């Protein structure tokens, strides 16, 4: 065993054909932070033994699993597999020499699971039945677009795998077009809104399905999904304040395009289009030596008329399928 820095750790993911049965990694994810590791629950006997000592006499492991997060920069090709694990269903088609991956919500509680590998200088371990619990996308001024993905899985097992990184494509803050309109049909002609930062959060409320007679969870299940976000921009008028006060419901679009890279005759793109969002928790910031800014939260509502949570989530890249 040796000492090493976190930069020497490799993280790879692959889509499991059978839930809970490990597969080879199809994508290797450069990461900036990793807090995904094994966890254990123990039972402690507390019978009276003729002493006032409150210490138990033993500790018995009862349940094991793995849980945590990894953070990184969005890479257009590998990110497609994370989105598949998040939403459950993808349809892929060629588009101008590239590929469009259109994501729809899989209406069940057993979305596709991943195998997650961690390779360190000391060991290679595999986490099977990894279910994505949450995803946060952050777009900050002058920065590469970043994400944090939270997972729950079975406890690790010793494995073997070899890392293999390939060229990928990133998005940066200037690649963003953020729009709000009355309907999705109005988004294409709507003006781009000047924002200072944007965060999008998706929660899956994943839960371990522990059973009697087993050390490991029998399954790991996604429950209800929710989507919300936060926008920061200069405080120039009361538009966003009134969205909150008036209970306005709008269509919202987040569009990223890396026009610095050609894929066929097009570019890497990522689109989120929501037909109904409501706004809450509007808050101005009156720092005395700074331009006054405002932040507002938004929550995605279910579009009952069209039976959908989103109207379009599409990733365009050079990967043929997931």
Q: What angle do CA 94, 96, 310 make, to 5 degrees?
A: 60
Q: What angle do CA 239, 244, 248 make, to 5 degrees?
A: 80
Task: Give burial (CB, 10 Å; 0-12/13-18/19+) of 16.
Answer: middle
Grade residue 167 by pLDDT with cuts at 50, 70 and 90.
confident
46 part of a folded domain: no
Tokens 């299940």 belong to residue: 221
The tens digit of pLDDT for each residue in 217-240 reads 999 999 999 999 999 999 999 999
Closest CA to 41 of 24, 65, 57, 72: 65
Q: Which two tokens stand for residue 239?
A: 């538009």
Q: Which two tokens stand for residue 300?
A: 């995605």
213 part of a folded domain: yes
Closest CA to 65 of 217, 218, 221, 223: 217
Number of domains the chain is built from? 1
**Domain containing 161: what range?**
6-38+61-317
Grade residue 119 by pLDDT with cuts at 50, 70 and 90.
very high
Report the SS3 class of residue 252: strand
Looking at residue 1, its pLDDT comes to: 81
What is the rounded average pLDDT of the residues 102-126?
Answer: 97
Which residues does residue 267 pair with via DSSP β-bridges, in sequence order? none
Contact yes or no for 84/103 (Cβ under 8 A): yes
> What's the pTM value of the predicted model, to 2 decimals?
0.94
Looking at residue 290, its pLDDT comes to: 95
163 part of a folded domain: yes
CB count within 10 Å of CB 253 equals 21
Cβ neighbours of residue 148 closer than 8 Å, sequence gap 6 or more: 33, 69, 70, 71, 134, 135, 136, 138
225 part of a folded domain: yes
The tens digit of pLDDT for each residue in 196-207 reads 999 999 999 999
50 part of a folded domain: no
Instruction: Report phi then psi at 75, rounded to 5.
Output: -110, 130
44 part of a folded domain: no
The tens digit of pLDDT for each residue in 168-203 reads 999 999 999 999 999 999 999 999 999 999 999 999
47 part of a folded domain: no
What is the rounded average pLDDT of the residues 280-298?
Answer: 97
Looking at residue 160, its pLDDT comes to: 95
53 part of a folded domain: no
Looking at residue 159, its pLDDT comes to: 96
């Amino acid at each position: 065993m040796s000492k090493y820095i976190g930069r020497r750790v490799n993280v790879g993911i692959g889509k499991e054909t059978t839930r809970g049965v490990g597969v080879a990694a199809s994508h290797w994810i450069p990461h900036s932070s990793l807090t995904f590791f094994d966890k254990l629950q123990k039972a402690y006997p507390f019978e009276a033994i003729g002493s006032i000592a409150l210490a138990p006499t033993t500790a018995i492991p009862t349940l094991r699993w793995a849980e945590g997060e990894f953070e990184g920069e969005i890479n257009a090709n590998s990110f497609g597999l994370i989105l598949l694990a998040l939403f459950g269903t993808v349809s892929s088609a060629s588009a101008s020499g590239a590929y469009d991956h259109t994501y729809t919500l899989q209406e069940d509680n057993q979305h596709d699971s991943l195998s997650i590998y961690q390779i360190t200088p000391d060991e290679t371990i595999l986490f099977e039945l990894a279910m994505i619990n949450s995803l946060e996308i952050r777009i900050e001024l002058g920065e590469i677009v970043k994400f944090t993905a939270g997972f729950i899985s079975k406890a690790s097992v010793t494995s073997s795998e070899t890392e293999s990184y390939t060229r990928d494509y990133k998005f940066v803050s200037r690649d963003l077009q953020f729009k709000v309109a009355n309907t999705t049909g109005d988004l294409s002609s709507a003006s781009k809104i000047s924002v200072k930062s944007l965060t999008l959060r998706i929660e899956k409320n994943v839960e371990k399905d522990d059973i009697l007679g087993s050390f490991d969870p029998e399954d790991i299940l996604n429950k209800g999904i929710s989507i919300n976000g936060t926008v920061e921009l200069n405080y120039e008028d009361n538009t966003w304040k009134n969205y909150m006060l008036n209970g306005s419901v709008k269509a919202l679009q987040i569009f990223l395009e890396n026009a610095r890279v050609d894929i066929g005759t097009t570019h890497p793109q990522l689109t989120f289009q929501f037909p109904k969002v409501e706004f809450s928790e509007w808050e101005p910031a009156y720092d005395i030596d700074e331009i006054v800014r405002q932040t507002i939260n938004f929550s995605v509502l279910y579009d009952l008329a069209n039976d959908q949570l989103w109207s379009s989530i599409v990733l365009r890249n050079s990967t043929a399928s997931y």
